[in-house]
Amino acid sequence: MRPHIILVGFMGTGKSTVAACLADRLGWARVDLDTCIETAEGQSIPAIFAEKGEAYFRQAETDALARELADGDSKIIATGGGAVLAERNRTLMLDNGLVVALTADEQTIIRRVCNDPNRPLLQGNAEQTVPELLARRRTAYDFAHLRIDTSDKTVEQIAEQIIGYYSQPPKQ
């Protein structure tokens, strides 16, 4: 099996949009981990957080990640912004694919996520919650093989860069 392409990054860095473009370009299947969790649990992400709590959500996230990585042909996997927090998840990702971290500057993220009711960790004032959470996760995405700042790039440019790296990773 060829490895998967796994997109990690803070909320609002463009993981789902880039995943869709990559899947189109490569003709691979695309999986959104949050959607997998919602299907497995039969509940929306905000409802899981509200009724079962974040720890329960994180376990469901690890289970969904392990399932998707173990299953079948190469695919594009867009993870949720906190999927990188558990060491087990980081190991699973590094062992099973090319891990690409998407980043964006603070103002771009705030613009993209403000008023989104589907992100339980950003409820309230995004101008305040985004910088706080970004600071807490400052180094959380550093384990990735490749890091791309999406702030000033088109989706096509980002997909191109990822496909180029996947086909010809730099020699260590």
Which among 3, 20, 33, 34 has a CA at the least distance from the CA of 158?
20
Query: How many angstroms separate the CA atoms of 38 and 60, rounded?
Result: 9
| Backbone CA torsion sign across 170, 8, 92, 38 | negative
State which of residues 18, 21, 34, 65 lies at the interface with ligand S3P (CB under 6 A): 34
Task: Verify binding: residue 114, ligand S3P, rule CB under 6 A.
Answer: no
User: x/- string (CB under 6 A) for ligand S3P, residues 52-91?
Assistant: ----------------------------xxx---------
CA nearest to 15, candidates 167, 129, 162: 162
Q: Which residue is nearest to ligand S3P (CB)?
A: 80
C-beta of 2 vs 125, nearer to ligand S3P: 125
Residue 45 near ligand S3P by CB under 6 A: yes
- Binding residues for ligand S3P (CB under 6 A): 11, 15, 34, 45, 80-82, 119-121
